[in-house]
Amino acid sequence: MRVLVIGSGAREHALLLALRRDPQVEALAVAPGNAGTASIADQYDVDATSADKVVELARTVGADLVVIGPEVPLVLGVADALRAAGIACFGPSKDAARIEGSKAFAKDVMAAAGVRTATSETVDNPAHLDAALDRFGPAAGQPAWVVKDDGLAAGKGVVVTPDRDVARAHAATLLEGGHPVLLESFLDGPEVSLFCVVDGETVVPLLPAQDFKRVGDGDAGPNTGGMGAYAPLPWLPESVTTQIVDEIVRPVAAELVRRGCPFTGLLYAGLAITSQGPAVVEFNCRFGDPETQAVLALLESPLGQLLGAAATGDLAEFGPLAWRDGAAVTVVIAAENYPGRPRLGDVITGAEADGVLHAGTSRRDDGAVVSSGGRVLSVVGTGADLESARAAAYAIADSIRLTGSHFRTDIGLAAAEGRIRL
């Protein structure tokens, strides 16, 4: 099987490494990739958001399967173009990708499927903002306001704050930019990311993971695209994972089928485990970053065959997944000033060690690997338990040199210390 992966982050690097372990995968290509993926796949500098260019590349490399990593090409319909060209694709259609691309669509699907989620209100007129803010947050007896961009925002469109001025300012900025704003009730409880391989009504869950969205230790500072993750979750009973699949993911997949936009790809349920049970924070239409780096490090089943089965309608026959015992931890190494405008162009040393996945990196003409994005690297450690996986990940993180870079030191710490309880 020849597989083409679309994207350029550490998630795509992790996908390529897992695909390479599949004995049926004979060739790997990636577009556009980064300095790390170049050593494991043929790399093509192709615009991932151009359906025509991606189809042309898939034909050039003779791809039997195309795996689309990021949400933007999916929301733009790149998967539809591949399927129309007769090329198997792991990734939802443009219509199904609205589960991530439009928060209002996702809420509508969840309501129809009877799935528990935050109550919400969309505001598109600045004149209605103050009255809407009064119906949420501390004004309505909740600990905080949750203010979201209705469209795609790479994880950075969300502000959760008990400060009305901060909530109002974020909403006003979004509205001024022409973006409708979603106000949501606050869901209390530990968060879970459950990735499910889905084809129509067939749902195969991967190991549950947890990610860390704030930039600083102890969840201090602004939201980012993700600063670290671990899997599996020692504090989450298997019965709750089963409940999430049965009561949330399957009904949503079935509702998408009912609406004529069946989902084929990775349906990512972001949840809070509240005192009343699991509730959806958001759905995404693709593998999450950085959880993928931890989850795939533990996958023993052949990833190319799994994604290929979903892409060709054979997922129901795939059988149960096999996982390595133990735990995996991902720590993201970010550039100075990230999530603000990051410092770029610095030489990185240690970036070619085992367990280092690349995101914002490129290779200079003299061969040096340099930083070219806010989240620069993801390091992944595995071990017999969470504590040893953390130790392995932080040993790699400490060995990397990048001027001004920073990472969180508490990824998976509360879980390793038994401080997360339902």
Nearer to ligand GLY, 63 or 273 (CB): 273
The one among 171, 289, 304, 372 contacting ligand GLY by CB under 6 A = 289
Q: How far is the CB of 192 from ligand GLY (least distance, A)?
A: 11
Q: How far is the CB of 350 from ligand GLY (least distance, A)?
A: 25
The stretch near ligand GLY (CB under 6 A) out of 24-32, 144-152, 282-290, 381-389 is 282-290
User: How many binding residues for ligand GLY (CB under 6 A)?
Assistant: 7
The stretch near ligand GLY (CB under 6 A) out of 143-151, 158-166, 288-296, 302-310 is 288-296
The one among 80, 150, 211, 255 contacting ligand GLY by CB under 6 A = 211
Q: How far is the CB of 69 from ligand GLY (least distance, A)?
A: 10
Is 151 one of the binding residues for ligand GLY (CB under 6 A)? no
Nearer to ligand GLY, 18 or 370 (CB): 18
The stretch near ligand GLY (CB under 6 A) out of 120-128, 164-172, 176-184, 283-291 is 283-291
The amino acid at 17? L
Q: How far is the CB of 71 from ligand GLY (least distance, A)?
A: 8
Is 205 one of the binding residues for ligand GLY (CB under 6 A)? no
The stretch near ligand GLY (CB under 6 A) out of 38-46, 121-129, 284-292, 405-413 is 284-292
The one among 12, 80, 149, 291 contacting ligand GLY by CB under 6 A = 291
The one among 32, 138, 151, 155 contacting ligand GLY by CB under 6 A = 155
The residue whose Cβ lies closest to ligand GLY is 288
Q: Which residues bind ligand GLY (CB under 6 A)?
A: 155, 211, 226, 284, 288-289, 291
